[in-house]
């Protein structure tokens, strides 16, 4: 007698097949989403936006992350989380000379623009249409005018590098034939409202691969924008003194190579320079640097601690103390007295000065103290100062610069600084613990890590 499955039996069979397939999918997902990385991603999402986005971008780039859907999910999350970061753009020291201990804090890539561009760049290799969509969501660049007292200027270079990448890699053949990459670039070539955009736009245009007529239209749109541009002198001086000239010379050369008339661009550039030079100017860099108070204590207590600090760094002979001298009972007693005085400094009329200098005093002493009980004491004190410090909430980039400096030095010498590595990974601050674990599991290239300092 032949058995004929009833409807209920057929339903049971379908249920079993579905369960088997679901189980296989779940197993495949677990295999392609290593629990170690999945845990890190969950921890990352719970952090402040700039740290969450940066950590997710690093995890998504891990060799062990092979699940394309999960990678896309992390990149999208990083892009949208980045929108809430405190700083809108990267900034750099316009003089090229150190003006303060935290000059490079705003060039760590923790700003909205840099984080979102990194997400778009990574997405290009995963889903170029989604990358183009995300880039289209980025708001137009708007830079506040700077005063002559500003030490840092905005640096939108990564935005225009990403625009060039999107134009080159995020369009299909039909879209290219319809001129969509050209129209994308045209929007940015014509929208130049600050001197800090001039050099990056020129480099972007020199590198595009378009039809001759399209390239010429972009160059002429850029020239038209230059004829209208009038920015603050701090931004102008910063770009003029660095690479704007080189970038602008490179673009006319590219015009000659492509048989495009560069004369309108050259005339617009000369008129722009003349207009800026004829306007209100700031003091020259040498005078500004000489008169700047950056890097100097403002309060009496800070100045006194700075004097004591210098006494622990430089011996009466004018040279630094040797490890042997630092091991004497006299020096160690002076160090402990100084740490007590530093701990007693609990407030300042200027919270920025308070954090910057107290952190610098602790960090420099830690880096210059030989391994042993004194260095262990300094590590405990420095970590205690950085952990759960309220400055993290109001100035996350500066706070993290101090943390990142400690992480980079510790993981550059894991054998010699094993106690520091262990303390960082076990930190009570979730951001410190997370980024220490990231450095252990997904170490940055040595040169890249050192370039953040």
- 35 assigned to some structural domain: no
Say how many Å lie between the first and final Cα of the chain, rounded: 82
Cα–Cα distance, 188 to 177 (Å, whole number):
20
Say if residue 303 is in the same domain as residue 447: yes
Alpha helices in 33-142 (DSSP H): 35-45, 49-60, 68-82, 112-124, 128-137
Say if residue 308 is in the same domain as residue 267: no
pLDDT tens-digit map of 4-31: 555 455 555 454 444 444 444 444 455 5
Confidence of residue 200 (pLDDT cuts 50, 70, 90): very high
Cα–Cα distance, 206 to 257 (Å, whole number):
10
Question: Residue 281 — φ and ψ, nearest 5°?
Answer: -110, 150
DSSP assigned state of 106: G
What pLDDT is stored for residue 4 in this prediction? 53
Confidence of residue 151 (pLDDT cuts 50, 70, 90): confident
**Would you mind telling me the total number of residues written for the chain in this entry?**
453
- Rounded to 10 deg, the angle between the 396-412 and 49-60 helix axes is 40
Is it the case that residue 174 has pLDDT exceeding 70?
Answer: yes
Q: State whether residue 240 is helix, strand or coil.
A: helix
* Cα–Cα nearest to 437, from 392, 402, 399, 407: 407
Confidence of residue 85 (pLDDT cuts 50, 70, 90): very high
Segment 256-281 mean pLDDT: 93
Q: State the total domains in the chain.
A: 2
- 311 assigned to some structural domain: yes
- 389 assigned to some structural domain: yes
Segment 209-238 mean pLDDT: 94
The last residue of one of the domains, among 227, 252, 282, is 282
Alpha helices in 97-197 (DSSP H): 112-124, 128-137, 157-169, 173-177, 180-190
- 305 assigned to some structural domain: yes
Look over the chain and give the mean of its residue pLDDT values, rounded to a whole number: 88
**Cα–Cα separations (whole angstroms), residue 71 to 61, 200, 218:** 8, 30, 35
Say if residue 259 is in the same domain as residue 366: no
Say if residue 444 is in the same domain as residue 301: yes
- 415 assigned to some structural domain: yes
Is it the case that residue 431 has pLDDT exceeding 60?
Answer: yes
Helix-, strand-, coil-residue percentages of the chain, each rounded to 5: 70, 0, 30
Say if residue 303 is in the same domain as residue 446: yes
Say if residue 306 is in the same domain as residue 447: yes
Say if residue 270 is in the same domain as residue 399: no
pLDDT tens-digit map of 108-125: 999 999 999 999 999 999
Radius of gyration of the chain (CA): 27
Q: Among residues of the chain, what percentage have pLDDT more than 90?
A: 74
Is 214 within 8 Å of 180 (Cβ atoms)? no
What pLDDT is stored for residue 289 in this prediction? 46
Say if residue 316 is in the same domain as residue 254: no
Is 166 within 8 Å of 135 (Cβ atoms)? yes
Two tokens, residue 438: 């990231």
What pLDDT is stored for residue 239 in this prediction? 76
Is 41 within 8 Å of 47 (Cβ atoms)? no
- 97 assigned to some structural domain: no
DSSP assigned state of 196: G
H or E element that contains 256: helix 244-257
Is 104 within 8 Å of 151 (Cβ atoms)? no
What pLDDT is stored for residue 296 in this prediction? 80
Q: Per mean pLDDT, which range of 9-23, 69-83, 296-310, 433-447 is the poorest?
A: 9-23
Confidence of residue 290 (pLDDT cuts 50, 70, 90): very low
Segment 367-380 mean pLDDT: 92
- 195 assigned to some structural domain: yes
Cα–Cα distance, 105 to 324 (Å, whole number):
34
Confidence of residue 369 (pLDDT cuts 50, 70, 90): very high
Two tokens, residue 187: 């929007």
Say if residue 265 is in the same domain as residue 397: no
Say if residue 268 is in the same domain as residue 305: no
Q: Per mean pLDDT, which range of 118-127, 199-208, 292-301 is the poorest?
A: 292-301
Considering only residues 247 and 332, tell me which one the structure prediction assigns the higher pLDDT. Answer: 332
Question: Residue 390 — φ and ψ, nearest 5°?
Answer: -60, -20
Confidence of residue 177 (pLDDT cuts 50, 70, 90): very high
Cα–Cα distance, 319 to 327 (Å, whole number):
16
Neighbours of 62 (CB within 10 A): 17
H or E element that contains 90: strand 90-93
Q: Calculate the CA 385 to chain-centre distance.
A: 23
Say if residue 416 is in the same domain as residue 357: yes
Say if residue 350 is in the same domain as residue 275: no
Cα–Cα distance, 83 to 72 (Å, whole number):
17
Q: Which domain holds residue 333?
A: 297-451
Confidence of residue 238 (pLDDT cuts 50, 70, 90): confident
């Amino acid at each position: 007698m032949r058995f004929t499955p009833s409807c209920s039996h057929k339903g049971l069979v379908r249920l079993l097949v579905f369960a088997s397939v679901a189980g296989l999918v779940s197993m495949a997902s677990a295999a392609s989403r290593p629990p170690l990385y999945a845990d890190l991603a969950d921890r990352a999402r719970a952090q402040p936006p700039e740290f969450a986005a940066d950590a997710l971008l690093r995890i998504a780039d891990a060799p062990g992350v092979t699940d394309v859907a999960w990678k896309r999910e992390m990149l999208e999350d990083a892009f949208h989380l980045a929108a809430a970061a405190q700083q809108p753009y990267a900034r750099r020291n316009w003089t090229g000379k150190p003006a303060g201990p935290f000059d490079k804090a705003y060039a760590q890539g923790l700003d909205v623009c840099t984080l979102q561009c990194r997400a778009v760049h990574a997405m290009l290799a995963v889903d170029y249409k989604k990358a183009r969509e995300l880039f289209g969501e980025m708001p137009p660049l708007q830079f506040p005018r700077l005063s002559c007292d500003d030490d840092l200027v905005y640096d939108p270079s990564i935005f225009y590098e990403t625009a060039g990448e999107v134009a080159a890699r995020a369009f299909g053949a039909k879209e290219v034939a319809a001129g969509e990459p050209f129209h994308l670039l045209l929007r940015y070539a014509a929208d130049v409202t600050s001197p800090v955009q001039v050099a990056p736009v020129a480099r972007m245009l020199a590198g595009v691969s378009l039809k001759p007529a399209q390239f010429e239209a972009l160059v002429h749109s850029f020239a038209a924008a230059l004829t209208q541009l009038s920015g603050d002198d701090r931004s102008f001086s910063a770009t003029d003194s660095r690479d704007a000239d080189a970038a602008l010379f490179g673009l006319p050369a590219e015009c000659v190579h492509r048989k495009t008339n560069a004369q309108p661009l050259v005339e617009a550039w000369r008129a722009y320079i003349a207009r800026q030079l004829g306007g209100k100017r700031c003091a020259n860099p040498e005078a500004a640097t000489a008169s700047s108070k950056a890097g100097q204590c403002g309060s009496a207590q800070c100045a006194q601690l700075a004097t004591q600090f210098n006494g622990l760094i430089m011996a009466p002979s004018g040279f630094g103390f040797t490890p042997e001298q630092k091991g004497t009972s006299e020096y160690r007693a002076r160090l402990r007295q100084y740490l007590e005085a530093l701990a007693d400094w609990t407030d300042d009329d200027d919270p920025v000065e308070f954090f910057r200098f107290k952190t610098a005093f602790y960090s420099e002493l830690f880096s210059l103290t030989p391994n042993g009980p004194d260095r262990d004491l300094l590590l405990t004190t420095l970590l205690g100062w950085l952990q759960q410090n309220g400055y993290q909430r109001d100035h996350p980039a500066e706070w993290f610069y101090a943390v990142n400096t400690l992480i980079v030095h510790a993981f550059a010498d894991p054998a010699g600084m094993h106690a520091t590595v262990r303390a960082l990974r076990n930190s009570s601050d979730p951001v410190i613990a997370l980024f220490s674990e990231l450095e252990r599991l997904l170490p940055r290239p040595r040169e890249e890590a050192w370039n953040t300092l």
